[in-house]
Amino acid sequence: MKQTKNPCAVYFERYQAALEELSELIDRAKTKGLLETQRQEIVRNFEVVHDLALETMHAYFKEQGRAPFSGSRDATVEAFNEDLIDDGQGWLDMIICRIKYNPLYPGDYLGSLSDSVVKNYIKLLENFERNFRAKTEK
């Protein structure tokens, strides 16, 4: 009988693969000086990685028997309290920045969001990977 992985492990594996892809995209763009032309691709990949991080958090807390959260902010606060993330404010800023990037709001946030991904958010996402792995391998 084939044993299936729990949803949390599946989300985390997908998260790790997407994070690696985003990191490589950023490295290539920096090396070749293409950050300006690859802003949309960086933002699209970032959104996938961020969504997978949130799905991983939700699945983790569900496994622990905790009630579902009303949104990404609640899950982020709980992840901070559980030491899954080490910069709660940075993660909340990430959520707000994504909301502002929504085409329903006025303004051009593509540049500021892609800059934030390259300068700040990639580190937060990498730290989540490290913290989550450490927490779940115990």
Rounded-to-integer distance, Cα 8 and Cα 5, Å: 8
Instruction: Report the C-alpha dihedral over residues 6, 8, 11, 16, rounded to 10 degrees.
Output: -110
Locate 82 and state its tokens: 């559980």
68 backbone dihedrals φ, ψ, rounded to 5° = -60, 150
pLDDT of 19: 98
Band of pLDDT at residue 127, cut at 50, 70 and 90: very high
Domain boundaries, the chain: 7-136
Residue 10 has pLDDT above 90, yes or no: yes
- 59 to 28, 68, 110: CA distances (angstroms): 32, 9, 30
- How does pLDDT run across 106-121, given as a tens digit for each residue? 556 777 888 899 999 9
- How does pLDDT run across 24-67, given as a tens digit for each residue? 999 988 887 776 678 889 989 999 999 999 999 999 999 988 87
Classify domain 7-136 by CATH number. 1.20.120
pLDDT of 124: 97
pTM, to two decimals: 0.89
Band of pLDDT at residue 104, cut at 50, 70 and 90: low
